[in-house]
Chains A and B, each alone.
Chain A
Amino acid sequence: MTKLGIGWRPEIARMIEKRDDLDFVEIVAENWSPDHPPQALVDLHERGVQVIPHGISLSLGSAELPDLTRLQRLNAFASRFGSPFVSEHVAFVRGAGLESGHLLPVPRTEAATQVLIENILFAKKHLTVPLVLENIAYLCEWGNSEMSEPEFIREILEATDSMMLLDVANLVANAINHDFDPIAYLRRIPLDRVAYVHIAGGIVIDGIYHDTHAHPVSPTVLDVVSKLTLFTAPPMVMLERDDLFPNESVINMELDAIKHAVQPKLIREAIFA
């Protein structure tokens, strides 16, 4: 049975508290102190809801090794909440002494991939729980790629023996902006390594899809989630909403739609059980 979750944000804490079918929540580790987490989050955890720490600034794809302080922060969260794993992005966020403020793609060259792999192995060595790796949405792409994105993802996951956080909204964003078939992508990545799935909303402006986490989840994203479940049963799926929070009923409808989207596989399991 696929577990259902949501990104915990203070703006929707009450709605999350009221919903009794949530198995887990994800928190952005950089936004909170592991020593003084929000009481609402503590209450959820005490109720049996799993808490997954999610990093956004490790910059695993940077030229430098990941920062130990940031790794320790993830450890502290995992320890506080007994989390089964932590997650981060396959991306870099800083360089030239500057913070970009956003997740940027690592060049898909053999040399850069090897650096990334070294960094991930370094991070894993210093983490007390497994590190799950997320695919990102990118607006600009390096022109010197030596491998496709699915090949890149597969190589990283296998070389570091890591599980994947498959962000379907990011996948759809890239498929639209860089003109590829998201289902073909799914067929080429190791789906048996998917630990959980992110689902979020976005918006198309001037033909460019922006992964905003502030707009409704599109039918296209839900369709890809549904198709994903024909290939594999993702252990966990969750909704991310970071801004322009609608009223509770809208978020509840989105969660219900996600539950519905992961049904096909469940039905197949029931038939062949």
Chain B
Amino acid sequence: MTEDSSTNARRELARQQEELILALLNRQPKPESVSLRQVEVASRSLLLKRARSIARMHPDLLVKHGSTYLDLVRGYAEVYPGSHPAGPCADAARFLRYLKYGASTSPCTFRQRLGDTGSWLFWIFRRARPAVHQEMSL
């Protein structure tokens, strides 16, 4: 690969990757070359993975915020769309600062959240409330 062709290939790759990441983080419409459904599924999966990652560092957050936890993470992701470059620990620490200084919780019921995220929420909750979820199956 010549230097010119490598530079061009990197530029094109950067453009494609930027489009996909921004779409996955709900910052702009999906790229033409990727299916809308797949982007929606992957985007939701990214948010939930981030929520689980934070909960793993601070399980008490689930107990404290209960059914509004996922909304808080969603609000956090709107302010900070990308995970912290230093990794999950730093992202969780930043989330705590966001809760302390920047979040305002909108009221919503557990049932509404359940309708939105289905059994994923059970999964997150089961970590903090094992007794409640022992009888529930995914």
Q: Which residues of chain B are near A139, meaning CB under 8 Å?
A: 38, 41-42, 45
Q: Which residues of chain B are near A203, meaning CB under 8 Å?
A: 123, 138
Give the interface segment out of B9-17, B64-72, B97-105, B108-116: B9-17
Q: Which residues of chain A are near B62, meaning CB under 8 Å?
A: none
Q: Evaluate contact between A140 and B13: CB separation under 8 angstroms.
A: no
Q: Is the interface of B mostly helix, strand, loop or mixed?
A: helix
With an 8 A cutoff between CB atoms, is B82 at the interface? yes
Inter-chain CA distance A130–B133, complex, in Å, is 45
Q: Evaluate contact between A205 and B118: CB separation under 8 angstroms.
A: yes
Q: Which residues of chain A are near B88, meaning CB under 8 Å?
A: 31
With an 8 A cutoff between CB atoms, is A272 at the interface? no
Q: Evaluate contact between B45 and A210: CB separation under 8 angstroms.
A: yes
Which of A118, A140, A142 meets B41, CB within 8 Å? A140
Q: Evaluate contact between B18 and A244: CB separation under 8 angstroms.
A: no
With an 8 A cutoff between CB atoms, is A102 at the interface? yes
The interface centre, meaning the residue of A102, A118, A203, A214 with most chain B CB atoms within 10 A of its CB, is A102
Q: How far is the CB of A28 from chain B (nearest CB, A)?
A: 10
* Given A101-B82, A214-B123, A64 contacting B21 (CB threshold 8 A): no
Give the interface segment out of A17-25, A40-48, A104-112: A104-112
Q: Which residues of chain B are near A99, meaning CB under 8 Å?
A: 82-85
Which of B12, B32, B123 meets A111, CB within 8 Å? B12
Q: Which residues of chain B are near A208, meaning CB under 8 Å?
A: 41
Inter-chain CA distance A139–B34, complex, in Å, is 11
Q: Which residues of chain B are near A92, meaning CB under 8 Å?
A: 17
Q: Evaluate contact between B119 and A205: CB separation under 8 angstroms.
A: yes
CB nearest to B9 among chain A residues: A111
With an 8 A cutoff between CB atoms, is A151 at the interface? no
Q: For window 96-146 of chain A, which residues contact chain B by CB distance below 8 Å?
A: 96-102, 104, 106-107, 111-112, 114-115, 118, 138-144
Inter-chain CA distance A210–B56, complex, in Å, is 18
Q: Evaluate contact between A100 and B126: CB separation under 8 angstroms.
A: no
With an 8 A cutoff between CB atoms, is A94 at the interface? yes
Q: Which residues of chain B are near A64, meaning CB under 8 Å?
A: 10, 14
Which of A97, A140, A214 meets B42, CB within 8 Å? A140
With an 8 A cutoff between CB atoms, is A95 at the interface? yes
Q: Which residues of chain B are near A87, meaning CB under 8 Å?
A: none
With an 8 A cutoff between CB atoms, is A30 at the interface? yes
Q: How far is the CB of A218 from chain B (nearest CB, A)?
A: 13
With an 8 A cutoff between CB atoms, is B107 at the interface? no
Q: Which residues of chain A are near B10, meaning CB under 8 Å?
A: 63-64, 115
Q: Which residues of chain B are near A174, meaning CB under 8 Å?
A: none
Which of B16, B22, B56, B87 meets A107, CB within 8 Å? B16
Q: How far is the CB of B79 from chain A (nearest CB, A)?
A: 13
With an 8 A cutoff between CB atoms, is A179 at the interface? no
Inter-chain CA distance A107–B21, complex, in Å, is 13
Q: Which residues of chain B are near A104, meaning CB under 8 Å?
A: 17, 20-21, 24
Q: How far is the CB of A82 from chain B (nearest CB, A)?
A: 25
13 contacts between A and B (CB under 8 A): A63-B13, A64-B10, A94-B21, A98-B21, A99-B85, A100-B82, A102-B46, A111-B9, A112-B9, A112-B12, A141-B38, A214-B123, A243-B56
List the 6 closest A-B pairs by CB distance, nearest first: A98-B82, A101-B83, A63-B14, A140-B38, A95-B17, A96-B18
Which chain B residues have a beta carbon within 8 Å of chain A's beta carbons?
1, 5-6, 8-14, 16-18, 20-22, 24-25, 32-35, 38-39, 41-42, 45-46, 49-50, 52-53, 56, 81-85, 87-89, 91, 118-120, 123, 126-127, 138
